[in-house]
Amino acid sequence: MTESAHGAAQALLHSRGLPQAWASQPTWRILDTHFDLPRFLAIWHAWQADALRPRLLHMVALTPQPPDLSELQAAQASSEQPQFVQELAGQWHGLLPGFHRLLLAQGQLALTLCVGELQPLLREQHFQADTVLLDADAPWDRWSAKALARCCRRGTALVWVGSSPGPNPTWRDVLGQNGFVFQDDQAQYAPPWELKSSREPLRTQAAAPATCAVIGAGLAGASVAAALARRGWQVQVFDTAAMPATGASGLPAGLVVPHVSADDSPRSRLSRAGVRLMLQEARRLLPEGVDWALSGVLEQRLDGRAGLPEHWPAAGREISRPARPFDGATWHEGTVAVPALWHAQAAWIKPARLVQAWLAQPGVQFCGNAKVSALRKSGTSSDATWQLLDRDGQLLGSANQVVLANASDAPRLLDSLRAELSELSQLPPVHEMRGVLSAGLRHAGDEAALPPFPVNGLGALIPSVPTEDGLAWYAGATYEAAHQPPAIAAEHHSSNLAKLRTLLPAAARTLAPAFAPEAARGWGGTRCVSADRLPLVGPLEDGAQPTLWINAAMGSRGLSFSLLCAELLAARLGAEPWPVEASLAHVLHARRRPASSSEDLE
């Protein structure tokens, strides 16, 4: 990026009064109808340098094709702020068609890069912008103008960008027919009619940060607490246990890996969005090589299917691609000849350490040994107060908003509320699945039999995780419905060994003694699972100003889904841009009616 390009972008912003418009606002939402790197960096620089900047700046930028990474690298060499470009370039991968949420500047600047055609991308938005950067050179028509109007609130300002000085007369007329009013070279959305929408009610003004109580201190609860605290909320997290992450999130190590499917299903697309966010957060909060590592993951496709869509573009191969042969690798000897995938953007993480890091964020308070047995609401929908009571009816705390992140215990709390709040909808059913992860320490001589990275496909093997006792490995885990009589621990470990024999025979032979009943060690927990194996996220009350929310049922993919779900919940609460397309977000809606799934639970 040349100095003249940066200066021109800065001059444009100041001439249109953007820094003055966002002064002292808690959040500012910008919709850029055509992503331009110099303009984005100029906005970032202006926001960073502004003492009165909003705490959170949202940039939603549309582009038919994102700039190549080489363009960012060239911009870094000539930029006045090379660290900005470096931070952006670190996340510049896998930019397939769709939405990509990039959290920058310690999470205070959110860039949602939307790749695709103009009108469909506008229709997938579910927020109302404060400022629109209008590319008058784009292929606008009356339908795209209507879609643009859906992304505006009354008073949204239009700022011309691109090579044209402004819209041509025909395009100006089309904008006027859709509620945009022009005065000299300025315009804003000010329709003379009452605004109505057939969409689900949404907040048009950002909720001022207040107080929120989160029930549950696992991945689901801690991620919500951190997401809200980053936005200025004061959050209390209540948990029955004395310490956080004592449930399923107490897993000693887990994988962050995208789901793949031949039709690139909603589950696959959501998992990619979740993995992207989780890896950003791990880099920001955890020491690499100690609490996490971008190890990559090899997936053995034991069903014999390739997994990826037939026409998988280059951007997708930056995330997941067919694996190269491992000829001559002793750890690969004896494996079944099946297709395999290499997930470059995948990692192992210690979930409990991530939960602890989230709960240590400013604005978050953890309250242990605090079982919430009842909820009581007082006040109006716009000025509600929730009281959290223990089993004796004693007050544990109060807040303006409540988020249920307590897995399968959430339906019990909701059942106790329905007599008082008839508008509460029935949640889709959830159930518990027990599981055991087998573990052991590595020994000298194990290297040849163990892969240098995690492998999954039938259970998983994470071969090398630092612990206080030395390098550990983890294998499994099992699945057992909680309503069934529990298997003994030895049966769980035997099942994990059987899976490992299929997945990695050489590793199974070497590690087999550690699975013997007298030697077996591991971890056991219970996962909360919905019927369609997707999380439940969103409001539990009707209307545009709900105060009771849920974020639960992460199943076996809490590391892949938790932060995405937290960002989605925070966006809905704060009238912010959503991190994924509206059609994808609705797949996670807490009050959906999911069809049962026959997919493997793992």
Q: What is the distance between the alpha carbons of residues 559 and 274, in angstroms, rounded to a whole number?
A: 8
Please state which of the ranges 13-22, 56-65, 102-111, 321-330 shows the lowest mean pLDDT: 13-22
As annotated, the residues of the chain forming the CATH 3.30.9.10 domain(s) are: 253-349+431-530
- Owner of token pair 């700039």: 67
Per-residue pLDDT, averaged over 258-281, amounts to 97
pLDDT in tens, 491-531: 999 999 999 999 999 999 999 999 999 999 999 999 999 98
Residue-by-residue DSSP string for 174-229 = HHHHTTEEEETTEEEE--SS----SSPP--SSPPPP-EEEEE--SHHHHHHHHHHH
pTM metric for this prediction:
0.94
Cβ contact 77:255 at 8 Å:
no
User: Please, which pLDDT band fits residue 3 given cuts at 50, 70 and 90?
Assistant: very low
Per-residue pLDDT, averaged over 72-98, amounts to 87
User: Please, which pLDDT band fits residue 422 given cuts at 50, 70 and 90?
Assistant: low
As annotated, the residues of the chain forming the CATH 3.50.50.60 domain(s) are: 211-247+353-429+537-588
| CATH no. of 3-189 | 3.40.50.150
Token pair in block for residue 404: 């249920």
Residue 4, CB-side half-sphere exposure with 13 Å CA sphere? 0
CATH T-level topology, domain 253-349+431-530: D-Amino Acid Oxidase; Chain A, domain 2 (3.30.9)
As annotated, the residues of the chain forming the CATH 3.40.50.150 domain(s) are: 3-189
Quote the pLDDT of residue 202. 52
User: Please, which pLDDT band fits residue 595 given cuts at 50, 70 and 90?
Assistant: low
pLDDT in tens, 327-340: 889 999 999 999 99
Token pair in block for residue 568: 């989605």
Residue 54, CB-side half-sphere exposure with 13 Å CA sphere? 26
What is the percent of the chain with per-residue pLDDT over 70, rounded to a whole number?
A: 92
What is the percent of the chain with per-residue pLDDT over 90, rounded to a whole number?
A: 73
Cβ contact 521:514 at 8 Å:
yes
Q: What is the distance between the alpha carbons of residues 520 and 511, in angstroms, rounded to a whole number?
A: 11
CATH entry 1.20.58.2240 includes domain 211-247+353-429+537-588: no
Which class for 389: exposed (0-12), middle (13-18), buried (19 or more C-beta within 10 A)?
middle
Packing angle, helices 3-15 and 37-49, rounded to 10 = 60
Residue-by-residue DSSP string for 460-498 = EEEEEEEETTEEEEEEE---EETTSPPPPHHHHHHHHHH
Please state which of the ranges 65-69, 378-382, 442-446 shows the lowest mean pLDDT: 378-382
Coil/strand/helix, residue 506: helix
Q: Of 225, 292, 247, 260, whose CA–CA distance to 567 is shortest? A: 225
Angstrom CA distances, 531 to 166, 294, 317, 432, 433, stand at 51, 31, 31, 11, 12
Higher pLDDT, 275 or 18: 275
Quote the pLDDT of residue 205. 59
Coil/strand/helix, residue 590: coil
